[in-house]
Structure 1
Amino acid sequence: MLTGRRYLLAFTDEQAAYAEKVGAACRAVWNTALEQRREYRRRGAFIGYVEQARQMAEAKKDPHCAWLADGPSHTLQQTLRDLERACKTHGTWKVRWRSKARTAPSFRFPDPNHIAVRRLNRRWGEVRLPKFGPVRLRWTRPLDGTIRNATVSRSGGRWYISFCVEDGVAEVAPNGKAPIGVDRGVAVAVATSDGDPYDREFVTLGEAVRLKRLQQRLSRSRRVHGRNRRSSRRDAVRAELARLNAGIRDRRADFAAQTAVRLVRDHGLVAVEALRIKNMTASAKGTAEQPGRNVRQKAGLNRAILAKGWGGFLLKLEHAARYHGAEVVKVNPAYTSQTCHACKHIARESRESQAVFRCVACGHQDNADVNAAKNILAAGLAVTGRGDLAVGRSVKRQPPERLAA
């Protein structure tokens, strides 16, 4: 199976400056090619990867575009391939621009023949990349597979390399263990139908104070406009904010990975809600004609949802399930938090608070998140029992006994 291996790079100052140039070139190629595709669409025409790659090769010969020839050619071509795939998947008009301020620089080396990795000692290894030469990396785990490609990216002021590896592991047979339901929440990140909560604080109290102060300093720092003019003080604040947020993201990813492995290792089926997180965290500001209501409350809820990393947890869960013989089933999230698991009565009033669920019909009392997880498990078992494959498919019934016999 294909999997990923991520390592911290120890660039020299020259290599780090060159990586910034390559990342900027890939961003410029992406934005230029996207604008070209949109312009062709406006005229009712079409341009694809082959023609754009040919034009880029011609542009490298132009003295005004000499910066294109400075970067590895395969990384620029891979940028065009990634754009081609994004346009086919999402549509030309829905693909986003790559911003210099908001998009971290990254580029991919698609040819494994140009990538050589060796271990130097217990702590360090070395990777050879085209036009970079030997680069030291922090050896935290063996590769355990064949390299397919490598992606270099910057996060929190540090550079990382991610290898796509074919580890040689075949499809794992179902483990046959007991099923479980999982409810993702705001107060508790993950609650299971067995009654086990999984949660941790990703931001310490001191870090929360530092984040607020840095955001205030960033909002008050001066933006310098004009060609080749930048505010060094604003850049320093942004770099400090990036380092702090990178540590928070690492804790969130570590929690998601560990929790996912625990669940799929001990259970054969994990039922989760098919939540549309992008729609759930949309802003409530509205428009000038129809302004939104409870905007500040909705903004706080959006921050709380994103802080728990629901999407990252589901991604880690599906990845870990492949190696432990578990199945991840997504169910319809409608009324899972308002339904009594004991009598199936649906009432909004039954959920008295964030943690307390007391059925207004039968009086059943339970933790609200655990009750929701039990409903999710029941829905997941119903989906697998009917032979359905995913949420939104047709509801198939069990065959009658006389036909089943």
Structure 2
Amino acid sequence: KADEDNGRIFLPKIGYIRYRNSRKIEGIPKNVTVREEADGWYVSIQCEFELKPEISIPDIDTAVGIDMGVKRFLTLSDGNFINNLEEKLKPLENKIALLQRRIKHKVKGSNNIKKAYLKLTLLHKRKADIRNNFLHQVSTLLVKNHDVIVIEDLKVRNMSKSAKGSIANPGTKVKAKSGLNRSILNEAWHKFFTYLEYKLKLKGGILIKVNPKHTSQTCIKCGHISKDNRKEQEIFRCVKCGYEAHADHNAAHNILRRAGLARMACQANLIRGRQQEPA
């Protein structure tokens, strides 16, 4: 039970509890989740409502391909890009590392160590809030400007696995792989894809996932596939035709091309024709 006008919610075995409204309840409330975080308690109300997309037919002309990266958070097939969160998160990460070193020298069970742990938890929450805000802003910007978004079908869990291996079969380049894993997890690619998916669904757009194989090694001009095309991280240079571009931009073009937009355009035109009134 939710008494929205008086800011109260009824929880089983507890009764009515006051809460502060952050937004109005839309639809029919179905269930409630209560969770504790560093700065207090939060309640999430899941509601059921009828989905009314903003558009009926996605505009194929606004389609864009997205290539995810480490130095750049993402690069679009139209040439635009968005930098990663390193500049925003680096000061917080330094504070967290400094506080963790200080905690080692404090007495276990003392009030000082409890205060330090609380401060550490608040820093981690602030870091998560900055990341979530960034992901929401970027996903909203993309969904507003594009009806069709094409991404790689990346298995983020497999990509971020540890490279240490076992005693019998030790891994190679463990330090470099751990740094890559940290960057991928720090930027929350999977959460970003989730945001894109549900926001496009609310709008009435389309999210397409394509096979990521060889997207960074294929030339968009001649179609030649080779590891030698990308000897450097940021530069793509085709060994066959000599085409040169930013590696992430080239990959984003390949991702968009794999979506089969020509076939989608034909289907969209067919739907438009059926919706027209007869003369």
TM > 0.5: yes
Aligned equivalent of 1:132: 14
Are 1:370 and 2:255 an aligned pair? no
User: Which consecutive unaligned segments of at least 5 residues does structure 2 have?
Assistant: 267-279
Q: Is the contact made by 1:119 and 1:139 (CA closer than 8 Å) also made in structure 2?
A: no
Aligned equivalent of 1:176: 59
* Secondary structure at the counterpart of residue 72 of structure 2: coil
Residues 347 and 126 of structure 1, relative CA distance in 2, 3 Å threshold: same
Per-residue CA deviation, residues 278-330 of structure 1 (Å, 9 max, x unaligned), is: 11111111111121111111111100111111001000000101111111111
- Point out which structure has higher relative CO (alpha carbons under 8 A, 6+ apart): 2
What amino acid sits opposite 1:179 in the alignment?
Answer: A
Which of 1 and 2 has greater Rg? Answer: 1
What amino acid sits opposite 1:116 in the alignment?
Answer: A
Are 1:249 and 2:132 an aligned pair? no
Q: Please give the alpha-carbon distance, in whole angstroms, between the structure 2 residues aligned to 1:290 and 1:141.
A: 53
CA drift of 1:264 comes to 2.3
CA drift of 1:136 comes to 3.2
Per-residue CA deviation, residues 164-191 of structure 1 (Å, 9 max, x unaligned), is: 1123333562332421101111111121
Greater Cα shift, 125-134 or 247-256 = 125-134
Residues 380 and 217 of structure 1, relative CA distance in 2, 3 Å threshold: farther
Are 1:217 and 2:102 an aligned pair? yes
CA drift of 1:235 comes to 4.2
What amino acid sits opposite 2:100 in the alignment?
Answer: Q
Q: Please give the alpha-carbon distance, in whole angstroms, between the structure 1 residues aligned to 2:234 and 2:72.
A: 9
What amino acid sits opposite 1:373 in the alignment?
Answer: A
Q: Please give the alpha-carbon distance, in whole angstroms, between the structure 2 residues aligned to 1:373 and 1:235.
A: 48
User: Which consecutive unaligned segments of at least 5 residues does structure 1 have?
Assistant: 1-114, 224-229, 388-405
Runs of 4+ off more than 4 Å: 218-223, 230-235, 382-385
Greater Cα shift, 273-282 or 287-296 = 287-296
Aligned equivalent of 1:301: 180
Q: Please give the alpha-carbon distance, in whole angstroms, between the structure 2 residues aligned to 1:294 and 1:235.
A: 38
Residues 255 and 291 of structure 1, relative CA distance in 2, 3 Å threshold: same
Alignment TM-score, normalising by the size of structure 2 = 0.84
Q: Please give the alpha-carbon distance, in whole angstroms, between the structure 1 residues aligned to 2:154 and 2:262.
A: 16
Q: Is the contact made by 1:116 and 1:129 (CA closer than 8 Å) also made in structure 2?
A: no
Residues 221 and 272 of structure 1, relative CA distance in 2, 3 Å threshold: farther
Aligned equivalent of 1:201: 85
Aligned equivalent of 1:116: 2
What amino acid sits opposite 1:301 in the alignment?
Answer: L
Aligned equivalent of 1:189: 73
In percent, how many aligned pairs have the same letter?
34
Match 2:40 to one of 141, 152, 158: 158
Q: Is the contact made by 1:175 and 1:324 (CA closer than 8 Å) also made in structure 2?
A: no
Q: Please give the alpha-carbon distance, in whole angstroms, between the structure 1 residues aligned to 2:94 and 2:22.
A: 32
Per-residue CA deviation, residues 186-210 of structure 1 (Å, 9 max, x unaligned), is: 1111211111112353644432221
Q: Is the contact made by 1:187 and 1:354 (CA closer than 8 Å) also made in structure 2?
A: no
Superposition CA RMSD, Å: 2.5
Number of residue equivalences: 263
